[in-house]
Amino acid sequence: MSFTDQELITFAKHWSAQLPERSTEIESGRRLPPDIAKAFATGGLFHALVPVELGGSEVHPSTLVEIIKQVAMGDGSAGWNVMIGTTTGLLSASLPDEFAKQIYGDGPGVLSVGVTAPLGRAQAVDGGYTVSGRWPFGSGSQNAQWICGGSFIFDGDTQRMGKRGAPELHLMMFEREQVEIEDTWYVSGLCGTGSNHFSVTDQFVPAGRSVVLGGRASISRPLYQFPMLGLLALGVSSVSLGIGFKALEAFKQLAGSKTPTGAVKGLAERSQVQSIVGESTADLESAEAYIHKVIGQAYEMASQGERLSMETKASLRLAAVNATHRSVAAVDRLYQAAGGSSIYKNSVLQRCFRDIHVTTQHIMVASPIYEVVGRVNLGLDPRSLL
């Protein structure tokens, strides 16, 4: 069952309003509760990027950003789970028809998650591969039916090389029953993402039930001309934006009701606080606008049948890393301005502060991306840094 872009945005806004009352449960449980994951699945969020032929919604990339941002405004960990589920769904456009239908064809109730890091070893055997490996950061894996892990391919003792001379890297798709999930997610922020380590040992994956990382999708429509890692980066930054906007609203509510100890004027009446709110609003709004600008340019290019240029892909990555780091700056500023009120466990600001600083640790929006984009903008080859 497909949903329109607006239906999915409306659904995400509905959950944005419902999630705060369950944030304590999400954080203490260290995972997304199964009933929420099921609601997100049946509501179409996890199939937002799945092709329409498979019952997906195939949304505009700007809609993806808005969906994830809205859910993250309700709860950062829930937004992260949506981000992982939606972006992993992109694999549906690259799998052979047989496996795309097997995994995604049963409708929006299916959740796939995974990790791109090449920490698995896939040994070629008759009919497919035997895979072993262990991956960290398996967000949402407890609620998933399918879990993928990046794996290098070996023919006997020889590592298989791709067309460009680099080792061939596949995302191997495992059934949930093939995977062991370890209880390792004890962290400072985004505690409710359930990002435990997971592992497989000598598990068989049939030929075709994997996707070459960095390969082109088998569908030529505009959405699938966007690089998978570029959309993943935009998804991570959308979580950051959602947390940033959540912190801004929480601070405005606090400032309107708090009079600091020993002061006559309320917090909101202080000129420094007013400047902080203005600067933080500008950071968040401008970062979001830049994301939608570069997405629009890339989508127009793809709609005209053009392949996205290196410069366009770099702009997508720059918009993503900028949004995350502008969101962090806003949250840090607001957290400090709130004074002692922000350190209590019942403070929304302390949760935003912890969560936002975990988003910065994702490799897709880490500071070195600025250097990679700078190399592209200077006409240099960025691959030496990747």
| pLDDT band with cut points at 50, 70 and 90 for residue 151 | very high
Q: What confidence score (pLDDT) does residue 165 get?
A: 76
CATH of domain 113-212: 2.40.110.10
Domain ranges of the chain: 5-104, 113-212, 226-385
Bridge partners, 122 (sequence order): 131, 153
Q: What is the dihedral of CA 210, 116, 91, 46, to 10 degrees?
A: 130
Chain center to CA of 337: 29
In which band, very low, low, confident or very high, does the pLDDT at 191 lie, cut at 50, 70 and 90?
very high
pLDDT above 60 for 384? no
pLDDT score, position 216: 85
pLDDT above 70 covers a percentage of the chain that reads 98
Q: In the CATH hierarchy, which top-level class contains the domain 226-385?
A: mainly alpha
Q: What's the CA gap between 296 and 301, in Å, rounded?
A: 9
User: pLDDT digits over 26-65, tens only?
Assistant: 999 999 999 999 999 999 999 999 999 999 999 999 999 9
Reduced to 3 DSSP states, what percent helix, strand and coil does the chain have, rounded to the nearest 5? 55, 15, 25
Closest CA to 260 of 339, 366, 161: 339
pLDDT at 169 over 80: yes
β-pair partners for 216 = none
The rounded distance, in Å, linking the Cα atoms of 319 and 321 is 6
In this structure, CATH architecture of domain 5-104: Orthogonal Bundle (1.10)
Q: For the chain, what is the mean pLDDT? A: 95
Axis-axis angle for helices 76-88, 228-257 (nearest 10): 160
270-298 pLDDT, tens digit each: 999 999 999 999 999 999 999 999 999 99
- pLDDT (tens digit per residue) in 195-214: 999 999 999 999 999 999 88
Tens-digit pLDDT profile for residues 324-356: 999 999 999 999 999 999 999 999 999 999 999
SS3 sequence, 284-340?
HHHHHHHHHHHHHHHHHHHHCCCCCCHHHHHHHHHHHHHHHHHHHHHHHHHHHHCHH
45 burial (CB, 10 Å; 0-12 / 13-18 / 19+) is buried
Q: How many whole angstroms separate alpha carbon 94 and alpha carbon 100?
A: 8
